[in-house]
A and B are shown apart, each in its own frame.
Chain A
Amino acid sequence: GENVEQHPSTLSVQEGDSAVIKCTYSDSASNYFPWYKQELGKGPQLIIDIRSNVGEKKDQRIAVTLNKTAKHFSLHITETQPEDSAVYFCAAPGYGGSQGNLIFGKGTKLSVKP
């Protein structure tokens, strides 16, 4: 089955700096990779996702890159702001491309210092 590893577990940056969070996955058949942001007391919120037919996707200050050969994908946040502080989770399908079941990483707690 799929295994998702996420690093780092905590990340502290100064406001305005960039933040990068990396995830690796094990199942080469996986074809969908979402990123979620979870604020205290709330459920995870989808912020960006990428499918295996593209290598990069951007949405304003957020971007995700995918390296299928190396089986890793990364979240990039530029010009960080204090409201970016949250826990971020990556995920991958649990069974060879199925979207019925997502396997999540353990999360990265991002702190943006004003």
Chain B
Amino acid sequence: DTGVSQNPRHKITKRGQNVTFRCDPISEHNRLYWYRQTLGQGPEFLTYFQNEAQLEKSRLLSDRFSAERPKGSFSTLEIQRTEQGDSAMYLCASSSRGSLNYGYTFGSGTRLTVV
């Protein structure tokens, strides 16, 4: 296990379609985060899990977005009825609360393009 893995790396979809992204965190990390990053901006928080519990969710997160982490391991982020404004890089990160270093380890992201 060498890092956070995200799939797919790229996704092009038509407006109105549903898409689902997967994140596999570092195995010993119990916290998992989803962020969104648009061009020229810093990552923007979407939601985070501690084990299987979703503990925080951004107020900016539309009802079309849902995330799960059913067994406290991998997570999925689903966007329903995609809109052009959803085009962005979706980043997953994980961290271990028990470590002295609380810093996230990010994956390489899934780039979504809605056409």
- Please give, as numbers and ranges, the residues of chain B lying within 8 Å of A34 by CB-CB distance: 103-104
- Of A6, A44, A91, chain B has the most CB atoms within 10 Å of the CB of A44
Given contacts A100-B56, A101-B56, contact A41 B42 (CB under 8 A): no
Checking B43, B97, B105 against A46 with a beta-carbon cut-off of 8 angstroms, the contacting residue is B105
Interface membership of B95, Cβ < 8 A: yes
> How big is chain B's contact interface, by range?
20 to 34
Contacting residues, chain B, for A32 (C-beta < 8 A): 102
Q: Are B55 and A43 in contact (CB under 8 A)?
A: no
Choose, from B11-19, B64-72, B76-84, B106-114, the stretch at the interface: B106-114
Q: Are A89 and B56 in contact (CB under 8 A)?
A: no
Residue of B50, B101, B103, B104 most packed against chain A (CB within 10 A): B103
Task: Please tell me the size bucket of the interface on A.
Answer: 20 to 34
Bound Cα distance A100, B58 (Å): 11
Once A100-B56, A105-B42, A106-B40 are accepted as A-B contacts, the answer to whether A44 and B106 lie under 8 Å apart by CB is yes
Structural contact, B45 and A44, CB atoms closer than 8 A? no
Q: Mark B25-58, 1 if CB is under 8 A from A, else 0.
A: 0000001010000001111110010100001101
Residue of A at shortest CB range from B97?
A99
Asked if A103 and B107 make an inter-chain contact with CB atoms under 8 angstroms apart, the answer reads no
Chain A nearest CB from B58 CB (Å) reads 8
Q: Is the CB of A43 within 8 A of B45?
A: no
Question: Which of these, A42, A46, A49, A104, contacts B42 with CB under 8 Å?
Answer: A104
Residues of A contacting B93 in the complex (Cβ-Cβ under 8 angstroms): 43
Contacting residues, chain A, for B101 (C-beta < 8 A): 46, 49
* A/B interface sample: 13 pairs, CB < 8 A: A41-B108, A43-B107, A44-B43, A44-B104, A45-B106, A94-B45, A99-B97, A99-B102, A100-B56, A101-B58, A104-B42, A104-B43, A107-B42
Going nearest first, the 6 A-B pairs with the smallest beta carbon separation are A104-B42, A43-B106, A46-B103, A99-B102, A101-B45, A43-B108
Contact surface of A with B, Cβ cutoff 8 Å = 6, 32, 34, 36, 41-46, 49, 89, 91, 94, 99-107
